[in-house]
Structure 1
Amino acid sequence: MNYLLMLSVIAGIASLLILVLYFKFPAFIALLMASIVTALIAGLPAQKMIVTIQEGMGSTLGFVATIVGLGAMFGAILEKSGGADAIARYLIKKAGLKKSPLALGFTGLIISIPVFFDVAFILLIPIIYSIQKNTRKSLLLYAMPLLAGLAFGHAFIPPTPGPIAVAEIIGAEIGWVILTSILIGIPTVILCGVLFGKFIAKQIYIYSPEQTLLTSSEDSYSNKQLPSFGLTIGIVFLPIFLILLNTTFNAGLFKVDNAFLIQVVAFIGHPFSALVIANIVAWILLGIKKGYSANELSKISIQSMAPAGAIILVTGAGGVFKQVLVDTGAGKLLAELLLHAGVSVIFFAYLSAAIIRLLQGSATVAMITAASLLAPLLIAGMYSPLQMAALVAAIAAGATIFSHVNDSGFWLVKQYLGLTENQTFKSWSLMTLLISVVAGLLASLIFYIGS
C-alpha cells in the first residue's frame, strides 16, 4: 500500500477542517488549499498541479454554474412574485386546519426546490404564526413539517445547488436524481416532519411571538395580486417535467421512432434548456403579467446571483479536490482499500458526508467533499443510473445529519420559533437526524433494487 497517498488524503481533509473551523477561511479557499496540500504530499509536480486545478474547476463549473445561476434567478422571481405564498395558502386552505401539518410539509418540499432554505423559511413563517394563533396548539406542530419539507427539498432535489453539484461530480443523471429524491422525499417528510411534529408538539409547547420583525405576507409583494396556485405550481414543476420527460425517453420507457421528436425532447429536457424555458415563462407570467417592470425583474435576477456565486465557487473547488484525487491515484487507492475492507460504496457515501457535516456545519461543503472522495471510486458503467441517483441521495442524507450549533440553520430556527438551545436540539436537531437516517435507509434500498 502506498502510505504517502493515504497520508495525502488524510492531510487534505484535515487541512480543510482546520481552515474552516479554526481559521474561519471561506469554504472556497479552504477547499482549494486542501487540494493543494493533497497534491503536494502525493508528489504531484507543480506544472501538473496547475493543469489539474484548471481541469477540475472547468469540468465541474461548465455544468454547475449554469444550472445554479438559472435556478437562483428562477427561485428569486417565484419568491418576489408571491408564488411561494400562493402555494402555501392554497394547500392549507384545501387541507383545512386539521390536515395543515401535512399541507405544510408538502409546501416546504415544493417551495425549497426553487427557493433557498433560509429565504423560504422566513417567507412562510408568518403563515405558521397565523395558524398557531388560530388553533392555540404548539407552534412545533406546524413548524416541524414545514422545516422537514424545506430541509429535504433543499438538500435532495435539483435544481437546488447541493444535489446538482454532487450529481455533476460523480456523474449521475439529473432526471434520475429528481425521480429518486421525490420517491424518498414523500415518506421521509411524512414520517420525520408530520408524525414527528405531532410527537414533539406534545412534549414542547411553543406559541407564536406577539411581536416580530417579519412583515405580513400580504404586505410583502407591493400590493400586487398573488398569482394563482395552478399557475405557480405549473411553473415550478415545468423544468422538472421537461427533465423527467427526457429521462424517460433515454430510458426507453416510450417507444418513439420519430427522430425529430427525440431530438426536440432531448433539447428541451436538458437541464440548461428546461431552466431557461422556466425562467422565460416565470419572467412573463409571474413578472410582467403581474405588474413588474423589466427593470424590477432584472434587479431581482441580479440580486439572486450573490448567494449563488458563493455556491458556484465552492462547487468548483470541490471539483478541483476530486481531480487531485484522480490525478494522484489517491482515489484509486482509496477504492481498493474500501473493496478489501468490504465497505459498501453507498455506506461510504453516507458516512463521509455525515462526518464532514457534523464537524464543520455546512451541508453544501459536506456534500461536495463527500462527492469528491466518492467520484474516483466509481468506474464508468459500473452502476446503473438508478444506483448513481441513490448515491447522490445517500450523500444528501449524510449531509443532513443532526444540525447543531456550528450550522446557521440551527440558530435561524431557534430565533424565529422562539426556542431555547435545548428545545432546538430536541426538535430541529433531532428531526434532521431522523431525516438523515430514514432517507439514508431508503437510498440504500433503492441502490440495491437498482443493481
Structure 2
Amino acid sequence: MTQLISHEAWVIIAAVLAVGLLLLLIIKFKWQEFLALLTTSIVFGIAVGGNPNDLLEFIVEEMGAELGQLALVIGLGSIFGMMLQRAGAAERIAHSLVDRLSDWRILIGLCVAGFLVGTSVYIDVAIVILVPMLYQVAQRTGKSLLYFGIPLCAGLSTAYTFMPPAPGPLATAGLMKADMGLVILFGVICGVPAMLIAGPIFGRYIASKIYVPAPIGGVGGVVAADSPTSEGNSASERDVDGTDLSPKGSPSVLTETPTRDLPRLSSVIAALLLPLILIVIGTIGRLLGGGIGEVFQFIGNPVIALLLTCLASLFFFGIRRGVPKDEIQAIATSALGPAGLIILVTGAGSVFGAVLVDSGLGDTLSSFMKDASVPLVVFGFIVASVMRISQGSGLVAMVTGASFSAPLAEALNASPAVVALTCIAIACGGAGYSHVNDSGFWMANRYFGMSVANTLKTWTVMKTIVALVGFTMVLIVSIFV
C-alpha cells in the first residue's frame, strides 16, 4: 500500500486508522485505556514501517524517559489530595460558605469552593462529598437543587480539567513539555469566565426551568414526589459497560453542623494555593535568572512544589491534629492506587506521542496546517473534543490530544506561551460534552436525583459551556501571545 501512495500520506492515513483502532478497543471491546494506548502504539509503529524489535526497545525507553517527573508529581499530588479529603477540607469550605455568605453571594462562593477543591481532589470524590451537603440548603430555601449544585459542579469541572495539579491538565502539560506556571496562569485566565458563565449564570437560568428537590433521606433515599422519576433513574446506577456506580457509604443529608473536628478555612485555602504559588514562583525564577532565579526555579519545580505541599499537609492535617502515624501511612498508601492507573495511562499516551513523532507525522501535519492556516490551539481542541465525545474519558481525551499536538508544537517551533495555551485548549476539549458514556454523567444523575433527559439538559450543557467558553478565551488570548 505504501508503494501506491507517498509515505507522508500513508503516515496520516495510518494515524487516522490508529485513532479509530483506539476508539474501537475502548468503546466496543471495553479495553482498559492503558492497554488500548499501548497496543495502538505498537500497531501504528509497525504499520508505518518500524522494525518490530527496534520499536519495542523504543517504546520501553520512551516509557521510562517521559514518566520521570510526571510519575513523581502525580503520586505526590494524589497523596496531597487524599490527605485533604480525609481531613475534611472540602466540607470545611462548603460549610464556611453556607454559614457566612448571603443567598446571592453563595453562588459565586460555591463556584470558588469547587474550583479550589477541584485542583486537588478527584471530581467524582468531590461530588460524593459536596453535593449532599447542599441538600439542606435547597430544602431550607425551597429552591431547586440545581440552583446551588450547578455553580459548585462548574467550579469543580473547570479546575479539574484546567488546573494542575489535577491529573488531566498535569498529564497534558507533561506530554506537551509545557511551562507549568504558564499553564496555571492561562488556566485561571480562561477558566474563571467559563466557570462563572457555566456556574451562577447558567445555574440560575436552568434552576428556573427545572425544579429538582433535594432527595429525602439522602442519596439513595426516598425521592420527593415531584422530582423526576423517569426510566432514566434506573439506568443511572450503572455505567455504559454495566459497572455498578451506586454510591457505597454515601454521605447522608446534612441536617446539622458536622460533629467531627474540621480544619480551619484559612489553613485549607493556604494548602490548596501553596503548590500553585510555588510553581508560579518557579516560572518567575526562569525569567529572573542568576542566583535568586535558580533558587526560585528549584522551589518552583513541580516535584519540589508538590513535595513541600505534601509534607506540609501530612504535618498540619495529620500529625498536628493527632492522627496516628500508622493511619497517615495508610492514607498515603491508599492514594497511590488511583495514581498508578493515571501514571500508566499517561505513560502509554507519551509512548503513542513518541511513536507519532518518530513516524514523521509532526512535520507532515505541520506543513498541512501551515497551508490550511490551522492554529495549533484549534488542532488540539478538535482532537481532544472528538476523543471526549467518542469514548467519554476526559483523561484519555486530553492525553490523546496532547500526544498528537506535541509533535506539531515541536515541528512548528511553538513558543512556551503557545504550548501552554494549547494545553488549555486540549483541556477544553476534554472538559465538555459529558453524556451517557461518561461516569461523571451518572454521578451527577444519581446525586442530583434527575432523569437522564434532565441530566443531559443540565450537567451536559454545563460541561459544554465550560468547554466552549474556555476555548473562546483561548482564542482571544492567543491573539496576544
- Verify same fold: TM over 0.5: yes
Matched, 1:247 2:283: yes
Q: 2:264 matched to which residue of 1?
A: 228
Q: 2:66 matched to which residue of 1?
A: 60
Count of matched residue pairs = 445
In the TM superposition, what whole-angstrom CA distance separates every residue of 1:91-146 from its partner, at most 9, and x where no partner exists?
33332223211111110000011101000111111221121011110000111001
Matched, 1:428 2:428: no
Q: Distance in 2 between matches of 1:401 and 1:356?
A: 11
Q: 1:9 matched to which residue of 2?
A: 15
Structure 1 position 339, deviation (Å): 2.1
2:383 maps to which of 332, 352, 357: 352
Q: 2:318 matched to which residue of 1?
A: 287
1:70 maps to which of 49, 72, 76: 76
Moved more, 52-61 or 354-363: 52-61
Q: Secondary structure at the match of 1:137?
A: coil
Structure 1 position 198, deviation (Å): 0.4
Q: Distance in 1 between matches of 2:34 and 2:329?
A: 27
Q: Distance in 2 between matches of 1:278 and 1:240?
A: 10
Amino acid at match of 1:390: L
In the TM superposition, what whole-angstrom CA distance separates every residue of 1:36-65 from its partner, at most 9, and x where no partner exists?
111111011112201221232122211211
Q: Distance in 2 between matches of 1:141 and 1:22?
A: 37
- Closer, same or farther: CA 369–220 of 1 in aligned 2, 3 Å: farther
Q: Distance in 2 between matches of 1:27 and 1:92?
A: 39
Gaps of 5+ in 1: none
Amino acid at match of 1:387: V
Q: Distance in 1 between matches of 2:391 and 2:79?
A: 28
Amino acid at match of 1:402: Y
Amino acid at match of 1:153: A
Q: Secondary structure at the match of 2:58?
A: helix
- Closer, same or farther: CA 222–94 of 1 in aligned 2, 3 Å: closer
- Closer, same or farther: CA 41–220 of 1 in aligned 2, 3 Å: farther
Structure 1 position 224, deviation (Å): 4.1
TM-score, normalisation: structure 1: 0.95
Within 5 Å, give how 1:322-333 maps onto structure 2: 322-333=353-364
1:208 maps to which of 214, 218, 230: 214
Matched, 1:272 2:298: no
1:187 maps to which of 180, 190, 193: 193
Structure 1 position 217, deviation (Å): 8.6
Amino acid at match of 2:450: L
Q: Distance in 2 between matches of 1:171 and 1:221?
A: 45
Structure 1 position 380, deviation (Å): 7.0
In the TM superposition, what whole-angstrom CA distance separates every residue of 1:381-419 from its partner, at most 9, and x where no partner exists?
833322221100000001112100000001110011000
Amino acid at match of 2:278: L
Matched, 1:23 2:29: yes
Q: Secondary structure at the match of 1:212?
A: coil
Structure 1 position 220, deviation (Å): 13
The 8 Å contact of residues 135 and 254 in structure 2, kept in 1 or not, is answered as no
Amino acid at match of 1:248: I
Within 5 Å, give how 1:52-451 maps onto structure 2: 52-213=58-219, 214-216=250-252, 224-252=260-288, 259=291, 261-379=292-410, 382-450=413-481
The 8 Å contact of residues 148 and 192 in structure 1, kept in 2 or not, is answered as yes
In the TM superposition, what whole-angstrom CA distance separates every residue of 1:316-354 from its partner, at most 9, and x where no partner exists?
000010011111112321222222222221111101100
Gaps of 5+ in 2: 1-5, 220-249
Q: Distance in 2 between matches of 1:240 and 1:115?
A: 15
Q: Secondary structure at the match of 1:251?
A: helix
Structure 1 position 312, deviation (Å): 0.7
- Closer, same or farther: CA 221–269 of 1 in aligned 2, 3 Å: farther
The 8 Å contact of residues 350 and 398 in structure 1, kept in 2 or not, is answered as yes
Structure 1 position 289, deviation (Å): 1.4
- Closer, same or farther: CA 218–127 of 1 in aligned 2, 3 Å: closer
Q: Distance in 2 between matches of 1:39 and 1:31?
A: 12
The 8 Å contact of residues 362 and 407 in structure 1, kept in 2 or not, is answered as yes
- Any runs of at least 4 consecutive aligned residues in structure 1 with deviations exceeding 6 A, and if so which? 217-222
The 8 Å contact of residues 194 and 467 in structure 2, kept in 1 or not, is answered as no
The 8 Å contact of residues 7 and 41 in structure 1, kept in 2 or not, is answered as no
- Closer, same or farther: CA 298–132 of 1 in aligned 2, 3 Å: same
Moved more, 6-15 or 73-82: 6-15
Q: 2:3 matched to which residue of 1?
A: none
Q: Distance in 2 between matches of 1:316 and 1:384?
A: 24
